[in-house]
Amino acid sequence: MNKVDLIRAAMERCEMSRKDAVALIDGIFEDIQAAVIAGEPVRIPGFGQFKVRDRAARIARNPATGEPVKVPAKRVFKFLPAKALKEAVMAKRSAKAPARGKAAAKPAARKAAAAKGAARKGAARKPAAKKSSARKSR
């Protein structure tokens, strides 16, 4: 879902014009943004909470070289879903999981068997004979 979809839903649900729906959605986003920038958390019961968290400076490691790297302190935007939203998402996921799991297991088993067979064939093959680089003498 994107902003256009939200506007369309507001138009249908509240029976308003497109211009009014755009103003409503833009106003909501502006109010949330202004509150979060000011440092106030925005709590929407049943949905979640938008807030800004301060992260302290720290020392990290460059995974390629192992060299220590300074990571500066920063403020980050965070969304914390409400318990009701988490439960609704998990309930929807667990309802789909059994049907998906059985169907997904069959192709995975086939892939594993195919890979196993290919590994056996590769091990059973003889290495290719080397071509001689001897030149004919005249």
Q: What is the pLDDT of residue 107?
A: 55
- Does 49 share its domain with 93? yes
pLDDT range class, residue 94, cuts 50, 70, 90: confident
**Which stretches of the chain are assigned E, i.e. beta strand?**
42-44, 48-55, 58-61, 68-71, 74-81
| Cβ neighbours for 10, distance < 8 A, ≥ 6 positions apart | 16, 21, 24, 25
pLDDT range class, residue 111, cuts 50, 70, 90: low
CATH number where 85 lies: 4.10.520.10
What span, in angstroms and rounded, lies between the C-alpha atoms of 44 and 36?
Answer: 13
- Does 53 share its domain with 69? yes
Q: What is the pLDDT of residue 122?
A: 53
pTM flag (> 0.85): no
Span 52-77, average pLDDT:
94
Give the sheet arrangement for strand 74-81, strand by strand. 42-44, 48-55, 74-81
| Cβ neighbours for 104, distance < 8 A, ≥ 6 positions apart | none
Mean pLDDT of all residues in the chain?
81
Span 71-88, average pLDDT:
93
Question: Would the pLDDT of 129 be above 70?
Answer: no
Q: Which domain holds residue 88?
A: 41-98
Span 107-125, average pLDDT:
56
Considering its fold, how many domains does the chain have in total? 2
